[in-house]
Each structure stands twice: as C-alpha cells, then as structure tokens.
Structure 1
Amino acid sequence: MSADAVFSLQNSSTTIDYSGKVPVEHLDYDYIEKCKDVKYLEKILKVLRSGEEGIYPHLIQFCEHHLKKLNPSSRALRKENSVPTAASLSKEEWRQIADELKTWQEETKKADTSLKRQSMFDDLVNKTMPPIRGSNCSVPLGQNSNSKEKRNSSRPVLPRDYQEWDKFDVEKECERIDGNMIKQSPANINTGHPKIKTQVDASLLTQEEKFLLANREKDKGNEAFKSKDYEEAVAYYSRSLSIIPTVAAYNNRAQAEINLKHWHNAMRDCQSVLQLEPGNMKALLRRATVHKHMGNFQQAAEDLRMVLMEEPHNAAATQLLSETEKKLKECHSEQQSRGKKILIQEVEVEDCNSNHKTKAEQIVCPVEPSQPVGGEDSSASPAERGDMGNAQKKPHDRGDGGPHSESNNSHHGIRRSKGDKYKASQESKEKIANGTNKRGSTASLQADQSSGNKGTVLGGSAGETVNLDAPCGALPPPLARLKNEGNLLFKNGQFADALEKYSQAIQGYTDSGIDSPEDLCILYSNRAACYLKDGNSQDCIQDCTRALELQPFSLKPLLRRAMAYESLERYRKAYVDYKTVLQIDTSVQAAHDSVNRITRLLIEQDGPEWREKLPEIPLVPLSAQQHHIKEPPSAEVLQARAEKAARDAERKAEVLFTALKQEGNDFVKKGHYQDALGKYTECLKLKPEECAIYTNRALCYLKLDRFTEAKQDCDAALKLEPTNKKAFYRRALANKGLKDYLACSSDLQEVLQQDPNVQEAEKELEEVTVLLRQSLAEASPAEPRKTVPITEVEGDEETIAIPDSESSCRGEDITINLKPTNAHEFGHALNAACCGGNTMACADLLASTAPDMLPQYLSTQLDGHTISFIMQALDSHLLEKDPNLVYQHLKYLHTTDRFSVVLMMLTKDERRHMTQLFEHLSAVESTEYTKNDVQNLANKYI
C-alpha cells in the first residue's frame, strides 16, 4: 500500500486515535509531508526521537521542519540543553564560575560563623523578650507546649477486642468525659505591655557583635514606632543606645518622645545628637518642635532658620517656622496690649534666732500666658514660669527653702540674715536682673539656698555656696540638711533626686514626732514642685492639699495646685485656686493671665452660665492678704538689665542682618538688583564693617551701570580687607566702565597676582590692554619728526635749544635743561627731546641724572613711547661712553610706578630695540656687573 493510500485511509476516518501506537508506514517522508494534524505529527516526532523503530536523523530533522511550519510554538520542538561542563565552556567562563562558587562558599562559612556567635547575645535578648501581643501568657523560647502531646500522639493506639466492647459502658464513659472536660477561658487582651528592660549588658561582646545587636534593637524600635506603640519604641531605642550610642537611635527616640509629649526627654535626646553631630538637620528640626511646644518660640525660630539655611526647600521646617513666627507675633502683640509687666518676687530676710521675718520685692520677668503646664522645665505654665513669692505673711515661716522660696530657672532669690550670713555672688545678682539662668527658660519656684561656714559650691556659679547644715525652723539638723540638699538639687535641675530628699525629710519628720506645721507645709510644697516638674500632676495636687491643710491660704501651694489642675484640664478648680491667689496678692500677673485664659475656655465649654458651675471661691481673711510696695531697683540690677538689653539687641541685629543678607542674595539670583541694593544698604546700617556686603552691593551697582558708586564700595571693602580679590576685580570693572583703563589694568594684575587661574580677569586684562592702547593713540597722535638744531647757551646750567610740542608747529626754538632739579623740569626736558626725536639730547639728559632719581622723575609721565625712546638713547649714545651708567639706569627704571602696565603696551619694534640694548650691554665687559646680572635684569623687561 502506498503512502497516498494510507493517508487517504486515515483522512477517511472521522477521528484519529492518538493513544495507540504509530504504524511504521506513517514514518515516511511523503506521509509526514502531507500530514496536517499537529498532534499526530508531534507523536510521530516522539517515536522517531525515541529510536524504537530505528534512528533516522534526516527524517527527524524533516519532521521537525514540517512541524515548525504548521505550529512554530509546538512544545515538541523544544530541546533540552545539555549540562555545561568544563569541556563545553571557555577557560574564562569556567574560571569565572569557579571563582563565584568559591566566593559563595566563603560567604556561607562566614554566615555560619556569625550565626554561631549570635547565639551568645540571643540569650541576652531572650531574657527580656516580651510575650506575644494579644495574650497574657507567654511560652519561653526553646520550649514547645505541645511537645508532650506530640510524644503521646506518636504512640500507636491499639484496637479494642470484642470482649472489651461487650463490657464497654457508654453512659459512664460520657460522664467521665464530661467531668474531665476543661473549659477554655476566652482569650485575654493585653491592656498594657510588660516592662521591657532598657539596659543590655553587652560587655562580653565584640565591637562587631555590639553593632549588630544595637541595630537589631533599633529595628525593633522602628517596628514598634510604625505600629504607633511609642512607649515600646522608646524602650527598644534605649536598649540600642545602652549598647552603642548612635545619632540615628537618639533621633528616633526623640521623635517617639515627642509623640508621647515628653518634651524634656525629647530635648535631652536632641542635645545628645547635636553633641555627636553638630548641625544635624533632623535634631534641629525636632528640637525646634520641642521648643515650640514648650513655649520657647524664639529658640524654635532660630533652629528652624538654621535648617532652612541648609535645606531651603524643607516643607516641614517652612510650615513650622510660619506657625512659630505667628505665635511670636501674637505674644508680642499681647504683651504690648497689656503694657509693661513686672512681677514681684519676695526675698525673705530670715533671722534664725527670732520668729520675725520681713519681705523685699523680687524682680521677675514677664511670662507667656499661652504656655502649657507640667512635664518639662520650659513647658511650665505662666505661674510656674515666674516665682510669685510666698505672698502670705507667716510669722513662724522660718527655714522656707527649696522651690518654695525661689525660682529655679528664672531668678535666684537669696535669703540673707541680719549678719549677712548667706551671701549671693555677682553672677546670681545678674541672673536676678536678667531673668534667666543656665537652663535658658523661666520656670517655677526654686530651691532656697543658704550659705554659712560649711558651704557647697553651686553648679554654674563660681564662688556661690550653700550651707547644707543651715538651720531650718524647728527641724533637727539631719532633716534640715536633707531639705537643703533637696533645695540644691532642685536648683540644679535634678528634680527626681530633690523629690527623694524631700520625701526622706517628710518621713523623718513623721518619725521624729516634731510639732512644726510650718516646716512640714514647706516640705510638702517643695515636693509638690518636684512632682509638677516631672509632670506628675496628681501627686502634686495631693501634696499641695496637705500643705494647705497645715497652712491655709499659703500662696505657693495654691499656685502649684492651680497649675496641676490646669495641666489635667480641670479648669474649674484651677480657676478657683487662681482667684484665691489673686485675693492674697493682686500683683501676681501670671495668675491674672491664667484666669483670663481659663475664662475663655470655660465660656467655650459651659456657655454663658459657666460661673454657676464653678465651685465656691473661699474668702481670704485680711490677715493673709499681702500688699507689696515697689522700690526702685538697685544700680547693679539696672546695669544687669542694660547688659541684657544690649545682648538682646545684638542678637536681634544679628538675626535681622542674616535675614536681610539672605534676601539680598536671593534678589541677586533672580536678577532684581535694585531690590538687592536696598537690602544690602540696610545690612550696612546694622554692620558697617562687613566687607562682604560692600562687595555684594558693588556687584549690584555694576549691574545697574552705576560705576562711581561701585568703585566707592570696592574702595571701602579694600580698606577693611586690603587683599580682597572680589573687591579688586569689581573695582577693575568699575574703572573700565569709567574708562580709566590704566587703573583697571592695575587692579586686574593684582587679581592675577593673587590667583593666576582667574580666567575672567585674564580676558578682561586682554580687552583693557587693547582699549588702553587705543586711548593713548587717540590722545597723542604721532607728529612728523623734524631736524632740531642744537646750540649751547652760556650760563650756570647747560641747556639745548629745541622746539617744544607746541612751538614746533610755529618753528620756535626752546632750550633743554640738562640738569633738572625736580620731576617737572625733567619731564619738560624729556618731552622736548622726545618730540624732536633727539636721542643724543636724551642721552645727555640721562647722563646728568642720578639713576636712583629716574623712577621719581618718570612716575607722572611714563608711557610706552617714552620707554622706547629712552632705550634708543641709551643704546645709541650712552652705552659706548659709560656702560656702567646704562646698567644703573636700567636697574632703577623698572621700579617706576605702572612700569609693568606700560611694558605690556610696547609694540614688536619697541621690544626689539629693548632686546638689542640688553644684547649690546651683555657684550660689554665690566667690573661692576656680570653677564648673569644683565640676564637677570633683562628678565624683568622682556
């Protein structure tokens, strides 16, 4: 049967059986060529490739070619590539593969080694590993709660036999199962995280391991931060910092503290970053945020301006700066509307041997009414930012100290006895006047300090001491010392340590059974100040209430309790306490501000009937009310105020100067030179000795074609900085605009002498040289040379008759003075010889002139034509007679003013005459000079 017949038989059937075996007749060229069924062809190709019916390479290739025509994407056409070996690859390819395998092997070994080392500090992490979130139960690492069940479940369960099934009691088994059933409690949800240790002992780890562990802890903090669990983030960042302090960890922890509104901690972290890396943009931006929330708007604006100087397009800094400046304007306008505010702080004069005490006024700076309360030094409320003094007269209030008697961050009221036992240093007096201390903010009431025979040096005040053993009322010496130590710690900003000292003193007071409510009131009040500083408003309220139970209508506990109420947003009770304070002392301005502020809040909150919802305001008896008499400040206070005002003015001027200069620079970049001119002029009013402003304004004048003013500014800049390159260059451009090409050329040469790489100066010098030659050519056109008769004239001086520049046209003769006595006479004689072209007369004139006087005589009329004429006269006549004199003239001639400038304007012929003169001079032998001397001198001319 032929292939056509087979193919026709196949096509005659309706279906093709692909599962059956391919007939041998189908393994033929003709059949494959006529077959159009792709699937069947793939099966044929599979049979041919298997070699079951023999190996036919050409038939396989033919079948593949035909199948490719029908279906190029057929899976049967895909061929598996053989595994490459060294023989199938080139040497370079095989070497590259071998090197990569070797590198991978080494990296794997290093990774295994690091993982083994990692087990050392995994134990450190596992010790403080918190439980899984969302569950109150935790499973220790390395343990599996289901291990026992798995062991039990791994045992095979034996089937029961038929006899056991007959004895099986279903009821009892159900009861047993019901009795042993364990009710699963619902899942517990954590309401708080367990405490995570913030310190990691990494002393046994290497530096590399410490770095790796610190990064792991920081990454955990980042994950907690992303999930908005800021307290946990702070804990992990603290763990990272305990291993290796890094800028990134400090910055991240500062941001987490900001989100938690822990302003003091955030400020400390920002300061740590700036100590490690001054100028860190993130730290400055976050410190500005903290300053803004703490009410220090001026410091916040300064930090933000520093950020914008480095990153002008920082959107966050720009927005924050606009908000801060708005707050500053509001504060200034509010202060101006209220007028001048002077708060009075008392300084109590204590006599340790009597029960009588007097009061003096104490100066306190104005406070900002809009600042928040609690938590941090600078975020204290208005009353906390200024010490109001203990406004109540208490005849037995001896030993009042600590925060109960002076302001920590603003003023240091020093208690003095009649014998001047407790002294304050000059720095303390300045702090009283300035209203600031080393912490840079005003705050609440400070620890009262005493000094005596046993003194302790105070932090930051040289020579200022405090007697820790000073007597305090009826307190025994140990308790008095605890109180004084707490006062000292409070003043230095160590509020937690001060709180501990006050607590020990209170406990000791209770144990000793002393009956002195005044002293106990002071201790509770001082401890309340510490609580308020740490943001613990609830405990502050409790201590203030105890103090007021001991001493009703005591001013400081009332103030502190009012601030604590305000920080907790319990505005009604805060309002009552502030109003009570004002009944005791109406001069407490911070209380007035707080009352006004709280009144607005209560009106918004309770509406017009807000007064009806207030608690009852107690009436203060007349005996508890105070009346302050203002006394004029002392000379020292006035001097300190003047110094502070001068410093403030200087700082404001510096800020304004920087802003104006930046605005001027921005106008220059935009091409608004007239606007920039005004800004630079205002800058010079603030700092007239700033050289850069003169050069910048000179640039604006040049752009506006006001060359005279530009030259004046450049002259002023050169007076301040004689080597200022910009001033020389811009004065050259101004001189060019004024067509003073000689001065322009001199300035450009000065620029190139300082920096030969200034291409702009080189181009300007070439252009100015051409302009200078043109101007000289136009100013003195060449005249035809005439024969000049020379006649000797008898007399004291030898002269030569020659026509001058004017009389030559008329044919009149003039005489040449061969023995000039000044520059005018020399110039007149030289011009006469030069105009007539008489080189012999010029040679005679030079022969009769001292060489050292030549620079002085030529300084006013030196030009290229004059130098060339002198060279010709020396070469033609004087060299044969006296070569030593020629050498001396050349030695002094190049020292003439503007010689280097004029030298550049010589033509080729004039330079050729100069070269010939030095060649002839070098050929003459002399005892006064050598050929080397002539060559060195020629280098200055040629």
Structure 2
Amino acid sequence: MTTADEYKAEGNKYFAAKEFEKAIDAFTKAIEASPEPNHVLYSNRSASYASLKNFTQAYEDAEQTVKISPSWAKGYNRLATAQYGLGNYEDAENSYKKCLELDPNNAMAKEGLQTVENAIIRRNQKEDLGLGAMLNDPNLYTKLRNNPKTREFMNDPEFVAKIERIKSNPQSAGNTQQLLSDPRILTVFATMMGLDMDLTGDMFSKDEEPKEESSKEEQPKEAPAKEEPKEEPKEETKDEEGDVEMEEAEDNKAEADKAKAEGNTLYKQRKFDEAIASYDKAWELHKDITYLNNRAAAEYEKGDYDAAIATCNKAVDEGRDLRADYKLIAKSFARLGNTYLKKDDLQEAVKYFDKSLTEHRTPDVLNKLRATQREIKVREANAYVDPEKAEEARLEGKEYFTKQDWPNAVKAYTEMIKRAPEDARGYSNRAAALIKLLSFPDAVQDCNQAIEKDPKFVRAYIRKASAQLLMKEYSKVMETLTEARKIDLEQGGKSIHEIDDMLNKATFQRFQNIEGETPEQTMERVSKDPEIVQILQDPVMQGILGQARDNPAALQEHMKNPEVAKKVNTLIAAGVIRTR
C-alpha cells in the first residue's frame, strides 16, 4: 500500500516539474492516506492550486494548514498568497505579519509584506502619485540606508534635504519636476514601490501605443514600460518538513517589448492575425498582461469576439496572480464589456463595465455603463408593449373609476401606459383618477404627457385645466383652456360649451371676494392685478371699450375675436365692466 509520505514525495516531484494538476492529485491522495491531518500536505496542495491561479482552493487549503498547525509560520505565507490572489490585500497583509511574528527572519514573508503594502499604496494613491504615503514611512531612511542602490545617496545632505522638501508637499508641481529631473529620487521612488531598479543611468521610455482611427472600440494602450525586478533564477527547494517552494521564472522583457512594438505596427496596418502572433510571442517572453490586452483588442477588431473574451478573462486571471496594476485589470474588464456590447449581450456588458469601474474609475467606462443600462430599460419597456393587454387594463381602470376605487384605477391605468406608452388616453385617464386623489401636480404632469403624445387631444387639456383650477393657478388655467378652445373649434367644437363654462368659472373664482373683504377693498385689489392693468392700458382695448360706452352692440361684434373676448370676459369677471 502506498503511504502518505510516498504520495507526498510524488507530489513534490510533479510540483518541481510544474505539473501542478498531477501534484494536486498526489497531495490529495497523501491527505487521504495520512492517519491524521498533516499541515504540510495541505500547504503543498495550496501551493499547487496557487500555481494554477485557483486561489479559492488555495485559500481553503491554507486555512486548513493554519488550523492544523497555528504556530507554523509558513502556513501564513500560503494563506497570504491566496488572499493576495483573491484581491484581499488587507487580509494578506495581516497574514504576512502573523508569519513574521512567528518567524521574524522569514524572507518570503518580508518580500510578500512589502509587495502587499505597495499594492495597497498603488490602489489608494491620488494626485501625488502615492509619494505622500511612501515618503512618510517612519522607516524610510532606515530602508534607504540598508538598500545597496540607495545607501550612498543618504551620505549627501543636499539629497536628504530634497527628500524632506518633497515629503512636506508631495503634490507640489515643483517637487514633481524635481522628481523627474533627479534620477536618484526616481530610484528611491522605485525602491519604495518594491522595484529593483537603478534609474541613475538610462531612463525608461514609453512605447508607442497602437491606434486605429477607423476603429469604434478603444485601441490597445499601455502604461509606461515598467522595469521588472531582475532576480537570479531560483532553484526549487524543499525545507526540512518537505514543504515545496515556488520557482521564479527569468523574464526577457526587452525582447517582449520588441515583439509588442511589432504587434502594434501590424495592428495599425489592420493585420490582426500577425499582430496577435506578435502579442503571443511577447507574452511568452515576459508575463505582462498589457500584451494580452493588446491581443484582445486585435481579436475584437478582427471580429473574433469569443477569442477576445477568452483573452480578457485570461488577462484578469493572470493579472491577479502577477499583482498587475489595477488600471490594466480595469482595461481588461472594460474590453470585456465592449465585446459583450458588440455581441448585444447587454447584461454581461453592464457586469464587466461595473467590474472595470471597481478597479479604476474612468469617465469613458462610466458613460458606457450608464448608456447600456438605459438601453436595457428601453428594451425591457418595448418588450412589455402589448396593445391587447393595454385595452384590458383600460377597461379595468374604467371599471375601478366607476366604482370610485381611485387607487386601483391609477394602478390599472399605469399598467395601460406600460403596455401602450404611445397611447395618450392612458395618461389622461390616470390624470382623472389622480385628481380624485387630490394629487394635482402629478395629474398635470400626466396631462402634459398625453398632450405630448397627441397635441390635438382636447380632453387632456380640459383635465389639465381642472387640476390647475383646483390649485388656484388661474392664469395657467386660462392659457390651457384658451389652447383647448382653439383646438376644439378646429375639430368641430364638440367641447366648446364645457371649455367656456370652465373659463367663466376660473375667471369669477379669480376675482371673487376674499372672506372679510369689503367691496371697496376687493375693487382696489382687482385694479392692481397685473393682467387687468395690462388690458386697460392696451390702446386697442381702450378703443373697443370707448365704442362700447357709446354703442353697446359694437362690443358683441368685437367679441367674435377670441383674444378680445378673453380680455372682455376677464374685465367682466373683475367687475370693471358691469353687464347690468
């Protein structure tokens, strides 16, 4: 029978050969064969899962590791690795600190903690490029003196004074200029970010970004090229307990960037297959998800949307494992959103635009998210339209209205509007029910909607005037009814008597005595009404009123003019003209 130790040895062999799935299988068998829970076996399987970027399973095994052996420092390294891969930076930071409490000299925990702290700083950095948080580290000078690349800088008092000036105001434009002009300060900045770079020599440069003017989708763009830590290749090792260590691969970034530049040129020439091949070559040479994002853009322009989706998902997964800049991961999510938008899968597009904004908020992606959400609502509303069901809702609303069940009438007419949003009757009918519920402003709004749908719908004008009258907005009532009268006359005058009755009612209500007011006080108030003053000062009206005093029959002739009739009726209602 194969023992747990034999399975573990087999798993270690597979891990060393980077056959992680076989390693997982072997460690699983070792766990099952072990007479009692073994923290090393769970740790090894966690490392295997992490190598496959399955951080959820890696996290579960790491939790088992520290549960079985809470005092084993390396278990917290495994836990931190999984937490970082899942994007839980603060939890990862706490796990690395726990490891260092148990083993203060643990090199992996020290490096991991620095990486996590830098990631948190980059995530939270603002306009000062993160200088404020980094340079205010209480251990700043100690770290710089202990680092061989910055040790000599600290012997220069003038250089230390520069650091102090930048610390005092990291957002100053002058300090930013100083940062760019002194390579030593750039080297300090890189050191605090955990990058092993010597910038006192050649400065790094930005690569030209591929752009295609005819493209509707965002072209692949890259952040300024970023030097990667140049570490010697590490041989895979095992500690005394048989726990495996992960191996770092040597990068060839210069060759990768050259392949990427070739891809960019091909992309602009719309030679997408060749561009994809170049981006693949760059990715094989150096693991930077910028190359995957560029490849996805080429696949998008080629029209191979499924391939673009697969590439973007790979970029996200790899980016989590590589601790990529959150802006690059945001770009992957945004491109996923654009691709699903192209496939007309709006729900998925919204999902990935939202994820992009969670990583990094940009106006362009935010606008796309909002536009897509609006389009979803429009489509849902259009899909709900059904004239037959709208008519059923109208009849149901009419029945409720007849029974004086105003709330249910409003509900039924609302359903009618949803089923037939272009039918003006739904809005007008709901306005009638809202008036009964004393919801006058909402009724006016519904009437306006009805009039917008059908400008010749006289009933909507009348109901609007009714609501305005109940709100005592007399001037607005007159305007609404005047328009209604004009339209009704064009259509045969079927509602002219109802409109004129409302006009008279509104006019008399406007100028009726206020409780406790004497006739003289009423007349004085009316005489100061702006509309009355304007009518009396109108030269045309002065002439008409002069003729009426001499020949009352002449007034009847002038009343055939709607504008004159409106003004005369206003004066009669105000008591300025007496008919008896």
- TM-score, L = length of structure 1: 0.21
| Structure with more of its chain in helix, by fraction | 2
When Rg is computed on C-alpha atoms for both structures, the one with the higher figure is 1
Taking structure 2 as the reference length, the TM-score comes to 0.29
Higher relative contact order (CA 8 A, sep 6+): 2
